[in-house]
Structure 1
Amino acid sequence: MHKFIEYRHFALILLVFMVFVGCKKKGEDPNQAQKTGNAKLDQLNARIEKSPKNADLYYARAEQYFELEGYDEAIADLNKAISIDSSKVDYYHLLADAYMDYFKSFKALKTLETAVMRFPRRIPTLLKLSEFQMILQMHKESMKSIDQVLQIDPQNAEAFFMFGMNFKEMGDTARAINSFQTAVENDPELVDAWINLGQLHAALGNAIAGRYFETATRIDPKNIEALHARGYYQQSIGDLKGSLATFRKINRIDPKYAEGYFNAGLLLMDMDSIPSAYEKFDAAIKASPVHIQAYFYRGVAAEILGKKQQAKADYEQALKLAPDYTKAKEGLERVR
């Protein structure tokens, strides 16, 4: 449930960059998903033509459109599925996700409110509603939804986790820590709660933060969010070698995770290993061709290495993606 939350908090800067440069192209071409020649879509189109009143087929096609970021088509299919069979809660959940990812947050919220009215004691739906309310900074409403969960299941760890997220967003660190602590007491395997405990204690300068990050990575050794949080913490306390090892581990697990390469590059820059840093920024760009900061820092590394033309090209590319990027402007002036 809360991976959605963690992504938006954990990679906020990158997400802003992606939205700024139009990486997802939401809304630019509502028929784009139909032009892919996707085999699964072709099969579903044929099946729907034969069985036009089968709600599950519309839901299955909506899932495909959602994956392809064809949000108009996904929303249309989900509304069709609900009109045929309004008893399937998964239809509402995916419709809410499609609206949210399509920047139609009001409709996303209303969809989940409708779902809760239809399924008032379904805990995953109440938690999802509280999550969306929190994202939209409706903290009072979010906590009311959590209270409904606890009336049904007083020991629900996810509910206490959501309390923690709300308090964290509201700046109430003490109550956030207490909530996350209760969450892990009720579910010791709740990795995201351990991560948040580590982050909050790290912000307070408490050495115990390291134990929380270690616990998170011990519970799930391949959890990218947990490893990233641990690597960032290690960097913050000056353990550059430990942090570098953690980010390298991340990219062994997920070779396409651009932030792992990028953070490793920054660490190598701090360690004066410029050629290796250049390679890491290069890998980050290959993993994410719209990673603005990776272009900038690859430009910095190239400039230090005397590769003026490469530096110039990287600064120019960073400015194409973010025209107001002051550091890139300054870098371009230097190499000119």
Structure 2
Amino acid sequence: MEDKLIAIFLGFLFGGMFLFVMSRELYRMLKTQYSSAAEGNRHLRQGNLEAAVSSFSKLIEKQPDNVDAYLYRSSAYIQLNLLEQALDDCNTITELAPQNHYAFLNRGAIYGIMDEDEKCIKEMTRCLELMPDQQDALRNRAYAYSRTGKIETALTDFNRLIELAPDKSSYYSERGNCFLSLQKYSEAIQDYTQALQWIKDSWELYSWRGYCFARIGKEQQANADYKRALELNPFDTAIKQNPEDITSYQQRGNLYYDAGQYQNALNDFSKFEETSELTAEILVCRGYCYLNLGEISLAKAEFQKAHSMNAYGDAIKKDPLNSSHFLERGFLNYYREDYQQALHDFTHAWKLGEQSEELLPFRGAAYMKLHEYTKAKQDYETAIQNHPDSPHAYNGLAWLLATCPDETFRDGKRSLKLAKRNCILLITPEWNDLGTLAAAYAATGNFDEAVRLAKESLALAPEHEKADCQTRLEHYEHSEPYCDFET
């Protein structure tokens, strides 16, 4: 019984907003005698962006070397999403005043908004060279590092931000997201809890913390956080006000999924069915809902549709060095039973430095499906060595050693040790964990215990797995170990 293969849905995106010179900087008076400076400042503070552009343009006509006027006009352009014009103003500033760190801050923010993360990082680094510990630059650079998969480096910037501003709640939540990406769930929980001291009504923080609690087996705390997240979520109201608000359905569907309410999630994702916005991403989400509901054929159909729409292809083309895109596509290919392609994606993710605890157990399971037992065993062993307190590989390796069709791989005694360790780490074992433990006992000749556990596994198993569970139980009742010829 191979390792549980559960897709991870992280309810956040790094880099949702890049920071540039905004209102808190505008109280610094422009050094000019012209009234258009004050007008531009006032318009910018009030959000009258086009009027602000006009005022600063008039000032620039009269003072073509006025650096501040270019700076503030670039900020107005950014908010108007006129990024090329904003970029031109920043370029002009760096020519007029090469030491003006705000120009690099704004130019880096522009590149961030344009999804040119490496350029963003370069600009923010230059800003920090000119003005060490400039918090907006540190935060922007951390966002960009995160989006390029350099989570450890991003973590360094967030650590510094917290040293500079230990009472800033957003820094804790953002560092928590880094820890979550690194699968350091306990550290993430600490940061989310700290942030919740200041932001008590954040549905996102409760959702993220709930996810982390679930990953370390603290189901009671996870359920409490998910319940609170659902109570606080803004999407119910948004949908009532506008039943055609597709984005809110997607966001609420993600939250339902994380909370384990798969039918509710599926209902929300299905709102896309008759719209032009049915994307490969939504099909993948629906596939995982069906998978968790035990509707295997429907799940495979959704995954196949997503594959035909080149799921993750655009993301990989845009950011070919981001290992998580290949990992996610590997999950998709595994579930649509293209194990060779799944191996290709998992291996590529591994070469790019992907550190997910799930990667090697997934690749090991794919090797098992292709009867490459030596490679499967090696992946499971490496996964356990790298993450000795993570249950993902223990179940897979225990199953291989107990049931492998090739007798040279069987080792009932070690299988039993691994299966027990898996159940201890999980705290609340599921049907397939108990099934693996039963197979391990059978492999050691303890059929009484194998029968007892196989019955427990059968009682907990989803409907589509019950026939196989029954078959294994009958083997043990006849004092026969089980051999998994289908693997």
Q: TM-score, normalised by structure 1?
A: 0.57
- AA partner of residue 308 (structure 1): E
- Superposed CA deviations along residues 275-300 of structure 1, whole A, max 9, x for unmatched, are 11111211221243233311110111
1:121 is matched with which residue? 34
For the 8 Å contact 1:184–1:190, the answer to whether it is kept is yes
- The farther-off stretch of 154-163 and 181-190 is 181-190
Q: Distance in 2 between matches of 1:281 and 1:295?
A: 8
For the 8 Å contact 1:213–1:229, the answer to whether it is kept is yes
For the 8 Å contact 2:83–2:110, the answer to whether it is kept is yes
- AA partner of residue 168 (structure 1): I
Q: Distance in 1 between matches of 2:17 and 2:163?
A: 23
- AA partner of residue 174 (structure 2): N
- Superposed CA deviations along residues 114-145 of structure 1, whole A, max 9, x for unmatched, are xxxxx983465223124146x34x42x22221
1:275 is matched with which residue? 186
For the 8 Å contact 1:130–1:162, the answer to whether it is kept is no
- The farther-off stretch of 157-166 and 121-130 is 121-130
Change (3 A) 1:143 1:289: same
**Aligned with residue 298 of structure 1, among 194, 203, 209:** 209
Indicate yes or no: 2:222 matched with 1:328.
no
1:229 is matched with which residue? 140
- Superposed CA deviations along residues 133-179 of structure 1, whole A, max 9, x for unmatched, are 6x34x42x222211232245332222112332333344433322111
Change (3 A) 1:176 1:231: same
Change (3 A) 1:195 1:147: same
**Aligned with residue 153 of structure 1, among 63, 66, 69:** 63
Structure 1 segments unaligned to the other structure (5+ residues): 1-7, 13-92, 95-118
2:93 is matched with which residue? 183
Change (3 A) 1:302 1:288: same
Report deviation, 1:232.
Answer: 0.6
What is the aligned length? Answer: 221
User: In percent, how many aligned pairs have the same letter?
Assistant: 19
2:156 is matched with which residue? 245
Indicate yes or no: 2:126 matched with 1:199.
no
Q: TM-score, normalised by structure 2?
A: 0.41
For the 8 Å contact 2:138–2:158, the answer to whether it is kept is yes
2:126 is matched with which residue? 215
| Structure of higher RCO (CA pairs closer than 8 Å, 6+ residues apart) | 2
SS at match of 2:197: helix
Report deviation, 1:241.
Answer: 1.0
- The farther-off stretch of 160-169 and 298-307 is 160-169
Q: Distance in 1 between matches of 2:44 and 2:63?
A: 17
Change (3 A) 1:288 1:220: farther
Change (3 A) 1:193 1:9: farther
For the 8 Å contact 1:284–1:291, the answer to whether it is kept is no
From the CA coordinates, give the structure whose radius of gyration is larger.
2
1:258 is matched with which residue? 169
Change (3 A) 1:201 1:308: same
Change (3 A) 1:253 1:142: same
SS at match of 1:288: coil
2:44 is matched with which residue? 131
SS at match of 1:255: coil
Change (3 A) 1:177 1:320: same
SS at match of 2:132: coil
1:312 is matched with which residue? 223
Q: Distance in 1 between matches of 2:93 and 2:43?
A: 16
Change (3 A) 1:10 1:198: closer
2:430 is matched with which residue? none
Q: Distance in 1 between matches of 2:197 and 2:169?
A: 8
- Superposed CA deviations along residues 159-216 of structure 1, whole A, max 9, x for unmatched, are 1123323333444333221111212333445434312211333435374432211011
For the 8 Å contact 1:296–1:314, the answer to whether it is kept is yes
Indicate yes or no: 2:72 matched with 1:172.
no
- AA partner of residue 239 (structure 1): K
- AA partner of residue 77 (structure 2): F
- Superposed CA deviations along residues 213-250 of structure 1, whole A, max 9, x for unmatched, are 10112222222211100111111222111101111110
Q: Distance in 1 between matches of 2:84 and 2:193?
A: 41
Q: Distance in 1 between matches of 2:36 and 2:99?
A: 19
Change (3 A) 1:258 1:156: same
For the 8 Å contact 1:157–1:184, the answer to whether it is kept is no
Q: Distance in 2 between matches of 1:234 and 1:206?
A: 7
Q: Distance in 2 between matches of 1:258 and 1:169?
A: 25
* CA-based RMSD: 3.1
- Superposed CA deviations along residues 258-285 of structure 1, whole A, max 9, x for unmatched, are 2222122112222121111111211221
Q: Distance in 2 between matches of 1:313 and 1:123?
A: 55
- Superposed CA deviations along residues 61-117 of structure 1, whole A, max 9, x for unmatched, are xxxxxxxxxxxxxxxxxxxxxxxxxxxxxxxx99xxxxxxxxxxxxxxxxxxxxxxx
Q: Distance in 2 between matches of 1:10 and 1:207?
A: 14
For the 8 Å contact 1:157–1:187, the answer to whether it is kept is yes
